[in-house]
Chain A
């Protein structure tokens, strides 16, 4: 279907027709993913609110309005995604709606980026169809990468594939094929191994099966996600859309800070630009004396929110907590080395090959530990463990 659409797209000579074609493809894709009319209207309402908020911000620039809009958008997001913690604040009623939206998590982040950058004067042109095409882009709707509006807007002006020669086109097609292999064969095989190890018919998995599950699930997640990115990045290029790269050998990371610059990079950079940086600069500008210590809080908050964003159930809270702790600990460790041996000592430490190996092995195992809480069914395990702990503590 992708190749057929790309072939049809390539013969459209007028930009207007290419834009119409992309918008129609986007609409069809959204409808296939969200077939109920209530879901479609809710999604459109969510998306269009960003456009109208941007229009208001251009007409009457106001940081207060921006903040209120982001709070309202986040509230809508949390309710639509049915976050478990809503039970604590509003009871079951807030979880009782029938709306189920595919693509909402990434739309949410792109929307915040859009309105913030409009408010800061970094986005000046606000074409409605360009905005809708950006938000509902089939190549980034389901699972990212999180593309920035400015880059998409540049591409929207031409929407023509920019392969310099036939060889480059062949490489893109090969990348799509490799992506399919990663998802459908390697990833699928790892999933079968991982779930086979988890779902043993005769009781609790033994230590060997737990070990297999411990390593195979993260490997499955990697190949599944990287393969998906190969397909959408190369596929989007056929339509003249530059989708950013999302992975850089993440399992070679030396610590959790390094890991998050290699894994789901567009998410990391979004977290850096729209959570970590504003939070840190808010504190550092007003209280410079607090800056050095506030960085650990900023790292923790940023990665905790990134973790929680992944899902609505309590296991993702644990995932977020572990990642927050891991990143903050990595920064603390670096500071301890600098305090003991200075910047030159840190350089020697970073260049040491044995230390690089140990750090890499420790990091990959910590990542595998955090991903226990991404596994399907881990929310039930969390509830069981929490109930057992509560009984044990007499709560």
Chain B
């Protein structure tokens, strides 16, 4: 598991209040109990705070599109922080 994925997993567990949550880069909202639109925004806020970044409206919307998954979010963070995959 990459360091970024580890950090994001910790944040997800904190936001969802569930230490048992396990995710991979291909995980999507359907794989995590309670990951609805509102929890998605709470996760976005937590990620912004942790990484010192800001997601645009289009990026937040993209994350929720059909076919997108946690990998989409990780790639956006990598692009903003200049981290290689």
- Distance A325 CA – B59 CA, assembled complex (angstroms): 29
Asked if B38 contacts A122 (CB within 8 A), the reply is no
Asked if A347 contacts B58 (CB within 8 A), the reply is no
Other than the given A122-B58, A284-B42, 8 more pairs (CB < 8 A) read: A116-B57, A117-B57, A120-B56, A269-B61, A281-B45, A284-B41, A346-B34, A347-B33
29 A-B contacts (beta carbon < 8 Å): A117-B57, A117-B58, A120-B56, A120-B57, A120-B58, A122-B56, A122-B57, A122-B59, A148-B58, A150-B58, A273-B57, A273-B58, A273-B60, A273-B61, A274-B57, A277-B41, A277-B57, A280-B38, A281-B41, A281-B44, A281-B45, A284-B42, A284-B45, A285-B45, A291-B42, A295-B38, A331-B38, A344-B33, A346-B34
- The size of the chain B interface, using a CB distance under 8 A, is 15
A-B contact count (CB 8 A): 44
Interface string of B43-58 (1 = CB under 8 A from A): 0110010000000111
A160 interface hit (Cβ, 8 Å): no
Asked if B38 contacts A277 (CB within 8 A), the reply is no
- Distance A266 CA – B38 CA, assembled complex (angstroms): 19
B37 interface hit (Cβ, 8 Å): yes
Q: For residue B33, which residues in chain A have a CB less than 8 angstroms away from its CB?
A: 343-344, 347
- Distance A344 CA – B20 CA, assembled complex (angstroms): 14
Would you give the shortest CB distance from B38 to chain A, in whole angstroms?
Answer: 6
A121 interface hit (Cβ, 8 Å): yes
Asked if A280 contacts B58 (CB within 8 A), the reply is no
A272 interface hit (Cβ, 8 Å): yes
Would you give the shortest CB distance from A311 to chain B, in whole angstroms?
Answer: 26
- Distance A269 CA – B61 CA, assembled complex (angstroms): 8
List 6 tightest A-B contacts by C-beta distance, closest first. Answer: A120-B56, A122-B58, A273-B61, A343-B34, A343-B33, A273-B57
- Distance A385 CA – B73 CA, assembled complex (angstroms): 51
Asked if B56 contacts A278 (CB within 8 A), the reply is no
Q: For residue A284, which residues in chain B have a CB less than 8 angstroms away from its CB?
A: 41-42, 45
Q: Contacts A285-B45, A295-B38, A343-B33 given; indicate if A277 touches B58 (C-beta within 8 A).
A: no
Q: For residue B34, which residues in chain A have a CB less than 8 angstroms away from its CB?
A: 343, 346
Asked if A272 contacts B37 (CB within 8 A), the reply is yes
- Distance A272 CA – B41 CA, assembled complex (angstroms): 11
- A122-178 contacts to B, CB under 8 A, are 122, 148, 150
Would you give the shortest CB distance from A340 to chain B, in whole angstroms?
Answer: 15
Q: For residue A273, which residues in chain B have a CB less than 8 angstroms away from its CB?
A: 57-58, 60-61
- B40-84 contacts to A, CB under 8 A, are 41-42, 44-45, 48, 56-61
- Distance A285 CA – B41 CA, assembled complex (angstroms): 10
Minimum CB distance partner of A278 in chain B = B57
Q: For residue A122, which residues in chain B have a CB less than 8 angstroms away from its CB?
A: 56-59
- Distance A284 CA – B46 CA, assembled complex (angstroms): 10
Q: For residue A117, which residues in chain B have a CB less than 8 angstroms away from its CB?
A: 56-58
Would you give the shortest CB distance from A160 to chain B, in whole angstroms?
Answer: 24
- A332-361 contacts to B, CB under 8 A, are 343-344, 346-347
- Distance A291 CA – B59 CA, assembled complex (angstroms): 21
- Distance A116 CA – B42 CA, assembled complex (angstroms): 22
Q: For residue A116, which residues in chain B have a CB less than 8 angstroms away from its CB?
A: 57
Q: For residue B60, which residues in chain A have a CB less than 8 angstroms away from its CB?
A: 273, 277
- Distance A274 CA – B58 CA, assembled complex (angstroms): 10
- Distance A147 CA – B7 CA, assembled complex (angstroms): 36
Would you give the shortest CB distance from B43 to chain A, in whole angstroms?
Answer: 11
